Chain A
Amino acid sequence: MLEIRNLTKIYEDGTLAVDNVSFTVPDGEFLVVIGLSGSGKSTLLRCINRLIDPTEGEIIWNGEDLAKLEGDDLRHARRKIGMVFQHFNLVDRSSVLTNILTGRLGYSKTWPTMLHRFPKVDREKAWQTLERLGIEDQAHKLARELSGGQQQRVGIARALMQDPELMLADEPVASLDPVLAHSILQHLEDLNQEDGLTIICSLHYLDLVQRYSTSVIGLKEGKLVYQGTKKDIRNMTDEEFKLIYGEEAIRISDTSLEGSLGEVVEQ
C-alpha cells in the first residue's frame, strides 16, 4: 500500500507545484491522476520515486518512508518502482535491447555493466519481455528508429525489467494517437490485472480514465480537489468537473453515455 501524507513541493523559484496532498493507493489499484497541464501531476509522480525531492510530507510504501531514503536505500526502493514517460525517455542512440536491459541496472553489479555485460538470466528476461510486448523483432534496432507506439512499449518493457511492484506512468499516451493510446493502456491494464501491479497513471482524456481506471484523483494548482472511483467518474457532476478543469472548461460530450468520448477543451 502506498500512502501519501501531506506532500508538498516548492521549487527553487518559489513555484508551489504540489500543495499538501494526501491520499492512499491500495495494492493492485489502477489509480489515474487527472488535471490540467501544470496542475502538479508530473511533480507528484516524480516525488514518489524521488526523481524530485519533496519539500515536505511522507511517502509511506510497504512501511517505509520513501521521502527519507538516501543513497543505496533509495536506489533499492526505486528498483521496485517502474516508470513510463510521456516522451518515452529512451536513449535514442542505443539499441532497443540495451534500453530494456537498462531496467536491470539497479540489480546488477556496477563494473560488468560498464562493459555492457548483463547476466544471462537478465538477457533471457529481456527477450521474454520483448515478446510479451510484441516488439521482439525490433530488438536490435536503435530506439530512435521505432515509431512512437513501439517506443512506448520499449519504455514499458524497460520498467517491467525492474520486476516492479508499483508502476508510475506520466501521461504515457499523450504523445500517441487514440488507437495506440488504447493499445498502450491495455498493456498497463494487463499488467494491473494479470500481475497485480499497482499503477499510478496521469491521463488527459476522460474516456480513457473511465475505461481503465479503478480510482481517480484530480489535481488543480497542486491541490487535491477530487477523489473518486471509476463509477464516480462516470457520474461526475459539472461542479466537480469545473473544480478540476476550471470555470472556462466545457465538456464536449455527455460522459454518462458509455463508450463516448469525454474531452476537455479550454476556451
Chain B
Amino acid sequence: MKSKKSQIYKEASTLPSIVPPWLAAVLSAIVPGLGQALARAIQRGLVIFFSFISIVGLLIWRFTDAAPRDEGAFDIIRKAFRLEPIFVLISIVFVIFYIWIIIDAYQMAKIAGKPEKRKPIVVMVFLILVFFVIGWQIGQIDVYAFVTKFGDAFPAISRVLWPWERAITYPEEMWMGTAALETPCDDTQPPPTEPLDDKPYLIVDPTCGIPSIQVDQEDNSIEVIPGTTIHVEGYNFTPDKEVEIWWKDPAISQFRHREGGDILRVIPDEKGYFETEITWPYRLIPDSYLEGGANWELQGRQVTTIGDWEFSAELKMAIEKMIETIFIGMMATFFGIILALPFSFLAARNLMRTNAFTLGIYYLVRGVLNIIRSIEPLIWAIIAIIIVGLGPFAGILALVVHSIAALGKLYSEAIESIDPGPIEAVTATGANWLQTIMYGVIPQIIPPFVSFTIYRWDINIRMSTVIGLVGGGGIGYLLTQWIRMLDYSAAGIAVWFIAITVALLDYISAEIRERFV
C-alpha cells in the first residue's frame, strides 16, 4: 500500500510543471503554496499553505491583542512595534518566509520533472523560527526578569529549603501586673495596689485623674488636652524582659499604651522592678459606661518563655496530615484494586472476543476506562468535593476513580499477555472454568498485578499530595494554606515531609517489587 503510494508520487514528480516558473511565483505570492502545488509538489504546497495561514492567524491575534484600542492595520502594527519590539523580529522572519515561498514556487516549477531535488530544510528552519518567536511572545517569556528578579525568591526558597527552626517552639506564658484607676477623682478613689509576694503588680500614683481630652477646633483640627500624668512602678516582673503597658478602659476594651505614637515598652531591672511616667490617654467611650464614675485598669504585660522546647503546632499538623495523605493513597489503591479487577477481565480482549456481544462489552469498557483515565485526578477531586464536601473522602474518591481506570487498563493488558498454553493444559485435565482461572490464569497474572498495584500505590500517594491542593484533604491542603499565608517555613516543613515520604515509598516499592515479582 505504502510502496504503491510512493510509486504514484514518484511518477507524478517526473511530470513537468503545469504552469511556467514565473506564473508559479506569482500564484504563490497570491495564494502561498499554490505555485508549488501546480509545480506538482502538492504535499509541499499544502504544508506551505497551512503553515502560512496559521502564522497569519497567530500574527493577527497577537497584534490585535497587543494593541486592543487601535483600529486599522497600520495603527495596530505601529503600536505593537512600539510596545513590544519582538514583533519587529517576528515580522522580519515572516516577510523572509513569504519571499522564500515565492522563490521556492519559481524554482520548484523550474525543476519539476527533472531529477533535481530541493530539500525543504530552509522552509523547516523558517517555520520553526516563526513559531518559536510567536511562541516566545505568546508565552510572555521574559528572561531578563527571570534573571534579575531571581534573588527575590531567595528568602522564600531558603525558608522552604531549611524550615526546621519552625519545627520547634518554646512554650510562652504571659505575666501581668495590674493597678486600678478611677476618673474623675472623688471620695471613693481606689486604694493603692496591695503588694503581692510572687506575682507582678503595679503601683500607680495618683490612683485617680482625668484622661486626655480631644477638642474639635473651628478649623476642623483637633486639640488634645493632656490628661493626668501617672507615675507607674512595677514589681516582681521577670528581670531584663520587655514589659508592655496596656490599658483596660471602662468599656472593657484593652489597648496598648502609646507615648508619642510609639508603643511603650519598659525593661525591668535585675530585681524585676521598673518605673515610668505615662499620660492618661484619650479614649472615646460611650456615656453609658461613664455613669457614677469610670473604672480603668493599667496593666504591665510580660511574655516569657518557660520550660524546654517542644515540637511546634505546624510540625505536628504536618505529621498528622502526612499520615492522612498516606492513608488516602492506601485506601484509594485498595478500593481501586477491588473495583478495577472485574473491569480488567471485561477489558481483556483474549477473554472477550468469544462473540460479538462480549466484544461489544470489551470496546465499551475499554472506551469508558480510557475516558476516565484521560481526566486528571485533580478534576475528579473537584467533582468529588461537590458531592461529599472538602476533606480526605473527596480525595479518596478522586483517586479511586482514576485508579480504577489506570489499573483496569494495566491489569487487562497483563491478562491479555498471558500464555494460553497452561490454560489449555489445565482445561485438558478436566478442570472446570473456576479451577482453570485459579490454576491456569491467576498464577500468571499475580506478578504483573502486584507490580502494577505497587506502582499505582506509589502514584496515589504522590497524587494525594496534589489532590489536597483543591481541598481533597491530606498534606496538600495544608501546603496550599501555608503558601497562601506566605508562611514559607511551615510550607517548607510540608514539602520536606512530602519529599521524604515519596523517597521512602520509592525505595519500599522497589524492594517489594524485587521480592515478589
Mask of A157-169 contacts with B, CB within 8 angstroms, 1/0: 0110110000000
Which residues of the partner chain A approach B419 to less than 8 Å between Cβ atoms? 89, 92
Check A105/B444 contact, CB under 8 A, given A89-B421, A91-B422, A94-B439: no
**Which stretch from A77-85, A121-129, A222-230 is at the chain B interface?**
A77-85
Instruction: Assess whether A114 is in contact with B438, with CB atoms less than 8 Å apart.
Output: yes
- Interchain CA distance A107-B435 in the complex, whole Å: 11
Q: Which of A63-120 contact B (CB under 8 A)?
A: 75-79, 81-83, 85, 87-94, 98, 102-108, 110, 113-114
B443 within 8 A of partner (CB): yes
**Which stretch from B285-293, B328-336, B380-388, B426-434 is at the chain A interface?**
B426-434
- Interchain CA distance A85-B421 in the complex, whole Å: 9
Instruction: Assess whether A102 is in contact with B429, with CB atoms less than 8 Å apart.
Output: yes
Contact partner of B431 among A81, A98, A106, CB < 8 A? Answer: A106
Closest to A83 in B: B428
B367 within 8 A of partner (CB): no
Q: How close is B267's CB to chain A, nearest CB, in angstroms?
A: 77
Check A91/B439 contact, CB under 8 A, given A85-B424, A114-B434: yes
A49 within 8 A of partner (CB): yes
Count, chain B residues at interface, CB 8 A: 21
Contact partner of A110 among B422, B426, B434, CB < 8 A? Answer: B434
B171 within 8 A of partner (CB): no
Q: How close is B250's CB to chain A, nearest CB, in angstroms?
A: 82
Contact partner of B440 among A51, A87, A91, CB < 8 A? Answer: A91
B446 within 8 A of partner (CB): yes
Q: How close is A166's CB to chain B, nearest CB, in angstroms?
A: 12
Instruction: Assess whether A102 is in contact with B426, with CB atoms less than 8 Å apart.
Output: yes
Closest to B439 in A: A102
Instruction: Assess whether A89 is in contact with B424, with CB atoms less than 8 Å apart.
Output: yes
Instruction: Assess whether B428 is in contact with A78, with CB atoms less than 8 Å apart.
Output: yes
B191 within 8 A of partner (CB): no
Instruction: Assess whether B432 is in contact with A89, with CB atoms less than 8 Å apart.
Output: no
Instruction: Assess whether A75 is in contact with B431, with CB atoms less than 8 Å apart.
Output: yes
Instruction: Assess whether B422 is in contact with A90, with CB atoms less than 8 Å apart.
Output: yes
Closest to A114 in B: B438
- Interchain CA distance A87-B421 in the complex, whole Å: 8
Most chain B CB within a 10 A radius of its CB, from A51, A82, A98, A155: A51
Q: Which of B406-456 contact A (CB under 8 A)?
A: 419, 421-422, 424-432, 434-435, 438-440, 443-444, 446-447
Contact partner of B425 among A81, A83, A113, CB < 8 A? Answer: A83
Count, chain A residues at interface, CB 8 A: 35
Which residues of the partner chain B approach A85 to less than 8 Å between Cβ atoms? 421, 424-425
Q: How close is A161's CB to chain B, nearest CB, in angstroms?
A: 8
Instruction: Assess whether A49 is in contact with B428, with CB atoms less than 8 Å apart.
Output: yes
Contact partner of A158 among B429, B434, B444, CB < 8 A? Answer: B429
- Interchain CA distance A105-B435 in the complex, whole Å: 7
- Interchain CA distance A103-B435 in the complex, whole Å: 11
- Interchain CA distance A175-B424 in the complex, whole Å: 18
Check A90/B425 contact, CB under 8 A, given A79-B430, A110-B432: yes
Interface of B is mostly: helix
- Interchain CA distance A105-B433 in the complex, whole Å: 11
Which residues of the partner chain A approach B424 to less than 8 Å between Cβ atoms? 51, 85, 89
Most chain B CB within a 10 A radius of its CB, from A49, A94, A102, A161: A102
Instruction: Assess whether B429 is in contact with A51, with CB atoms less than 8 Å apart.
Output: no
- Interchain CA distance A83-B425 in the complex, whole Å: 7
- Interchain CA distance A202-B143 in the complex, whole Å: 75
Closest to A93 in B: B443
- Interchain CA distance A89-B427 in the complex, whole Å: 11
Which residues of the partner chain A approach B426 to less than 8 Å between Cβ atoms? 91, 102, 105
Which residues of the partner chain B approach A94 to less than 8 Å between Cβ atoms? 439, 443
Which residues of the partner chain B approach A79 to less than 8 Å between Cβ atoms? 429-430
Which residues of the partner chain A approach B429 to less than 8 Å between Cβ atoms? 78-79, 82, 102-106, 158-159, 161-162
Q: Which of A46-60 contact B (CB under 8 A)?
A: 49, 51
Closest to B437 in A: A114
Q: How close is A85's CB to chain B, nearest CB, in angstroms?
A: 6
- Interchain CA distance A103-B428 in the complex, whole Å: 9
Contact partner of A93 among B428, B430, B438, B447, CB < 8 A? Answer: B447
Check A158/B430 contact, CB under 8 A, given A91-B439, A94-B443, A114-B438: no
Which residues of the partner chain B approach A114 to less than 8 Å between Cβ atoms? 434-435, 438
- Interchain CA distance A83-B435 in the complex, whole Å: 17
Instruction: Assess whether B435 is in contact with A113, with CB atoms less than 8 Å apart.
Output: yes
Contact partner of B430 among A91, A92, A98, A106, CB < 8 A? Answer: A106
Which residues of the partner chain A approach B425 to less than 8 Å between Cβ atoms? 83, 85, 89-90, 102, 155, 158
- Interchain CA distance A135-B426 in the complex, whole Å: 21
Instruction: Assess whether B444 is in contact with A92, with CB atoms less than 8 Å apart.
Output: yes
Closest to A86 in B: B421
Q: How close is B113's CB to chain A, nearest CB, in angstroms?
A: 47
Q: Which of A2-36 contact B (CB under 8 A)?
A: none
- Interchain CA distance A91-B421 in the complex, whole Å: 9
Closest to A77 in B: B430
Contact partner of A51 among B428, B438, B443, B447, CB < 8 A? Answer: B428
Check A78/B430 contact, CB under 8 A, given A91-B439, A105-B439, A114-B438: yes
Instruction: Assess whether B421 is in contact with A110, with CB atoms less than 8 Å apart.
Output: no
Instruction: Assess whether A75 is in contact with B422, with CB atoms less than 8 Å apart.
Output: no
Which residues of the partner chain B approach A49 to less than 8 Å between Cβ atoms? 428
Instruction: Assess whether A102 is in contact with B431, with CB atoms less than 8 Å apart.
Output: yes
Which residues of the partner chain B approach A76 to less than 8 Å between Cβ atoms? 430
- Interchain CA distance A158-B424 in the complex, whole Å: 13
- Interchain CA distance A150-B323 in the complex, whole Å: 50
- Interchain CA distance A49-B427 in the complex, whole Å: 10
Mask of A240-259 contacts with B, CB within 8 angstroms, 1/0: 00000000000000000000
Which residues of the partner chain B approach A103 to less than 8 Å between Cβ atoms? 429
Q: How close is B429's CB to chain A, nearest CB, in angstroms?
A: 5
Q: How close is B470's CB to chain A, nearest CB, in angstroms?
A: 42
- Interchain CA distance A215-B421 in the complex, whole Å: 28
Closest to B441 in A: A91
Which residues of the partner chain B approach A91 to less than 8 Å between Cβ atoms? 422, 426, 439-440, 443-444
Which residues of the partner chain B approach A78 to less than 8 Å between Cβ atoms? 427-430
Which residues of the partner chain A approach B422 to less than 8 Å between Cβ atoms? 89-92
- Interchain CA distance A77-B429 in the complex, whole Å: 9
Closest to A164 in B: B429
Contact partner of A105 among B421, B431, B443, B447, CB < 8 A? Answer: B431
What 9 new A-B contacts, CB under 8 Å, besides A90-B425, A105-B431, A162-B429? A51-B428, A89-B422, A91-B426, A92-B444, A94-B443, A102-B431, A103-B429, A114-B435, A114-B438
- Residue ranges of A at the interface with B (Cβ–Cβ < 8 Å): 49, 51, 75-79, 81-83, 85, 87-94, 98, 102-108, 110, 113-114, 155, 158-159, 161-162
16 contacts across the A-B interface (CB closer than 8 A): A79-B429, A79-B430, A82-B428, A82-B429, A89-B425, A91-B422, A91-B444, A93-B446, A94-B439, A104-B429, A105-B439, A106-B430, A108-B435, A114-B435, A158-B425, A159-B429
Give the 6 A-B residue pairs with the shortest CB-CB distance, closest first. A106-B430, A105-B431, A89-B421, A79-B430, A89-B425, A78-B430
